[in-house]
């Protein structure tokens, strides 16, 4: 017996190839890959707006309905299990929970990290509410610290996603970079896409999706700068790639910069998120203080001026 899944393409899916969209959105399938997606499309198992997809390379537009008839033999990912793990809770009510995630922790289980994630810990915290199905509103890389927001109902999740799309959600980060950005305040608008040579990397390319990061230098010294960044769009690795492509790589970023003896991860922290509450609609301002490793770098930027 086949299992059918369907979803509506969002802004993050627009301009992507169909096989890329499937990898991004079909998250319940174990070891999902572009090869698997291409096999489904070639086998006539994928339809876009009710029409069978003819090619993997077709681009999906925002609002399109995508349906996949999964083969009966498709291995499904096991549902995340509750685990008693520490959580630094910034805010919690019946509709959402906000966590201050430390660096080194994965947000959501994957085939590489099946346990020990933020979501496993949240499920344990909500173990007395079996009807709740947590949905991630924001994600962070493993080695980025800071705010992660999780909706506790489908309605709350959908409302926050609509607010994000409408530009009513502000996400602010703090980074320590090499060099001093010039001008001291501005916007980086380089389009971003996956590196054809390594799908795990993101590159700045005219072939990519429109992307914008606003930045402001707070202080500079010792060959480094403390920079505040605002995400206008929310592409994968956006801040890291935008800063590196502009000549100011984040200190300790082993993928887009270089290792640094003063910190054992990229010096990037999601420090503030401002959004309307999904139910009350009152403005919420969530903040996560800088962790110790980044405070030490920030002090060096200030004291060396």
Structural Rg of the chain based on CA atoms: 20
Place of tokens 């998250």: 27
Phi-psi region of 293 (alpha: psi -120 to 50; beta: other; left: phi over 0): alpha
* Strand pairing report for 268-276 and 145-151: parallel
Q: What's the CA gap between 151 and 119, in Å, rounded?
A: 11
Two tokens at 280? 């009350």
Q: What's the CA gap between 198 and 202, in Å, rounded?
A: 8
Q: Which of 13, 19, 141, 143 is an active site residue?
A: 141
Question: Rounded to a whole number, what is the largest CA-CA distance in the chain?
Answer: 67
Q: What's the CA gap between 97 and 90, in Å, rounded?
A: 8
Q: Report angle CA 35, 72, 62 to the nearest 5 degrees.
A: 55
- Burial code of 68-86, b = ≥16 C-beta within 10 A, e = fewer? bbbeeebeeeeebeeeebe
Note if 198 is an active site residue: no
Helix (H) or strand (E) holding 172: strand 170-178
Phi-psi region of 129 (alpha: psi -120 to 50; beta: other; left: phi over 0): beta
Active centre residues (catalytic): 141
């Amino acid at each position: 017996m086949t299992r059918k899944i369907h979803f509506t393409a969002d802004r993050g899916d627009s301009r992507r190839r169909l096989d890329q969209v499937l990898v991004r959105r079909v998250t319940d399938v174990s070891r999902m890959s572009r090869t698997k997606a291409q096999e489904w499309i070639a086998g006539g198992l994928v339809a876009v707006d009710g029409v069978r997809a003819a090619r993997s390379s077709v681009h999906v537009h925002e609002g399109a309905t995508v349906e996949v008839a999964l083969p009966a033999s498709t291995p499904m990912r096991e549902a995340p299990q509750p685990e008693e793990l520490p959580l630094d809770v910034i805010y919690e009510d019946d509709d959402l929970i906000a966590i201050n995630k430390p660096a080194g922790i994965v947000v959501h289980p994957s085939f590489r990290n099946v346990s020990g994630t933020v979501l496993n810990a949240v499920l344990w915290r909500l173990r007395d509410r079996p009807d709740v199905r947590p949905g991630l509103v924001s994600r962070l890389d493993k080695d980025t610290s800071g705010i992660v927001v999780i909706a506790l109902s489908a309605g709350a999740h959908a409302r926050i996603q609509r607010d994000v799309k409408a530009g009513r959600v502000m996400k602010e980060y703090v980074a320590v970079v090499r060099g001093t950005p010039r001008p001291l305040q501005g916007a980086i608008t380089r389009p971003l896409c996956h590196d054809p040579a390594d799908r795990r990397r993101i590159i700045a390319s005219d072939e990519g999706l429109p992307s914008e990061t606003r930045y402001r230098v707070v202080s500079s010294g010792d060959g480094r700068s403390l920079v505040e960044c605002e995400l206008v769009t929310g592409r994968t690795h956006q801040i890291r790639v935008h800063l590196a492509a502009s000549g100011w790589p984040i200190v300790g970023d082993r993928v887009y910069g270089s290792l640094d003896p003063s910190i054992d991860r990229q010096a990037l922290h999601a420090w503030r998120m401002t959004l309307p509450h999904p139910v009350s609609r009152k403005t919420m301002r969530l903040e996560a203080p800088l962790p110790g490793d980044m405070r030490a770098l920030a002090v060096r930027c200030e004291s060396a001026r």
